[in-house]
Amino acid sequence: MSRDSRQLTINEVARIPFFNDLQDADLKMLSEMLEIYNYEKDKYIFKEGEIQDSMFFIMEGSVIVLKETESGNQETLAQFASPQVIGEMALISPGTRSASIMSITPVTVIRFGCSSFEKIIKTKPLLAVNILKKAGDTVCTRLKKANQTYLKAIHEPKNA
C-alpha cells in the first residue's frame, strides 16, 4: 500500500458517487479530508476484526469481500469494481470490521476517515445527514441482496 500525498481536486471528489450532488464548498471541504491510497493486487485494504475507522471509495480496480468461516477458511462473499464504496458501516456503527477486503487487481481507493466525518457532523450537519443516508442506503441495498442470495441458497435443491 502506498499513500498518494496529493490533494484531490473538487472535480475528482465530484466524481465519487457519494458526493456527485454536492455544492462546490462542500466538495472543497471534502477534498481536504480525503486521502488517496494505491494497493497492488492481492493486498488487504482492511481485515475482518480490525477497528472500523474509515470507509473507502474504489476509484480504480476490483476487490473481493472475504469472510472467515468457523473452520478458519475464508469465503468470498462478493466482488466490487470501481466506482464503489466499501467499509461504509464504519460511519454507521463503531466497532470492528465484519469482513475483509482484498484487491484482485491493482486498486486506487479514496479513504474517508471517521474523524473527518465527525468534523462534518459538528460543522455541516446537513452534509453529514446526506452522507449518512447514502451509507445507510448502501447497507440496505447490500442486505437485501444478501437476503435474496440466502433464500435462493436454502431453497435450491441440493445436488447429490
Among 32, 39, 142, smallest CA distance to 87 is for 142
Instruction: Retrieve residue 92's grid coordinates.
Output: 454507521
pLDDT tens-place string over residues 90-115? 888 889 999 999 999 999 999 999 99
Domains of the chain: 36-155 (2.60.120.10)
pLDDT, one tens digit per residue, over 13-23 is 998 988 989 99
Phi/psi region, residue 75 (left: phi>0; alpha: psi -120 to 50; beta: rest), is: beta
The whole model's pTM is what? 0.83
Which of the pair, 43 or 149, is modelled with greater confidence?
43
Q: What pLDDT is recorded for position 154?
A: 81
